[in-house]
Structure 1
Amino acid sequence: MPDKLQTFEIDKVIHEPARLLILAYLSVVDGADFLFMMNQTGLTKGNLSSHMSKLEDAGYVEIKKEFVDKIPRTLLKLTKEGRLAFAEYRSNMTQMLESLPK
């Protein structure tokens, strides 16, 4: 076993399990509405809203509110910065796991 394992930068905003799940879903679609994300993640309205706000504050997601046939709709989209941060997170985690002794 090596004396010291290589250290990696882990984005703590992304590393939280619920936010990681949100970004994983948003990374494979152009955008999603709030209800879809609630159903896919299993998060409550309040939890999803809280995590989305943290991701928005970090610049990783864009939250857009609109009306469709007089019904409010909240759209969620990964920003360019969010897409890059998620890709870097995945790369760092993969490298870290691959560096562990077998």
Structure 2
Amino acid sequence: MVALSVLPPGDQVTFPRLQDLVGMTPGNLSTHLHKLEDASYITITKAYQGRTPVTYVTLTRAGRQAFEDYTAALGELLSAANHESVEEKL
């Protein structure tokens, strides 16, 4: 999902390019993508370029919002943990 977060909603990336970005095996990436698709965070589209099949992955608006919500919650958690750590030292 992190690699897709750089895409504006509606933009797409090919499966091999995404695989290069995240460094996952095709099987592992496919498993993760199907879970994200089931949650409506991405869409997966199969097409052809000439005779070559190509799989495109697109981040949805819901996916972008879920990622932003996640990063905001993570930021709050880290901020709270850092604040508690500072108070313990005093």
Shorter-chain TM-score: what band?
A: 0.7 to 0.9
> What TM-score, normalized by structure 2, do the two folds share?
0.84
The Cα of 1:71 is off from its aligned counterpart by 0.7
The Cα of 1:56 is off from its aligned counterpart by 0.3
Residue 26 of structure 1 corresponds to 4
Residue 76 of structure 2 corresponds to 95
Aligned partners of 2:30, 2:44: CA distance in 1, in Å?
10
Which residues of structure 2 form unaligned runs of 5+? Answer: 86-90
Tell me, yes or no, if structure 1 residue 62 matches structure 2 residue 40. Answer: no
The Cα of 1:25 is off from its aligned counterpart by 1.1
Structure 1 stretches of 4+ moved >6 Å: none
RMSD, aligned α-carbons: 0.8
Query: Match for 1:74: what amino acid?
Result: T
Residue 77 of structure 1 corresponds to 58
Matched-pair identity in %: 38
> What TM-score, normalized by structure 1, do the two folds share?
0.75
Tell me, yes or no, if structure 1 residue 39 matches structure 2 residue 20. Answer: yes
The Cα of 1:47 is off from its aligned counterpart by 0.5
The Cα of 1:26 is off from its aligned counterpart by 0.8
Which has the larger share of helix?
2
Aligned partners of 2:12, 2:49: CA distance in 1, in Å?
16
Which residues of structure 1 form unaligned runs of 5+? Answer: 1-22
Residue 88 of structure 2 corresponds to none
1:16-40: CA deviation from partner (whole Å, max 9, x where unpaired): xxxxxxx111111222100001111
The Cα of 1:53 is off from its aligned counterpart by 0.3
Q: Highest CA radius of gyration, 1 or 2?
A: 2
Partner secondary structure for residue 27 of structure 1: helix
Aligned partners of 1:39, 1:28: CA distance in 2, in Å?
15
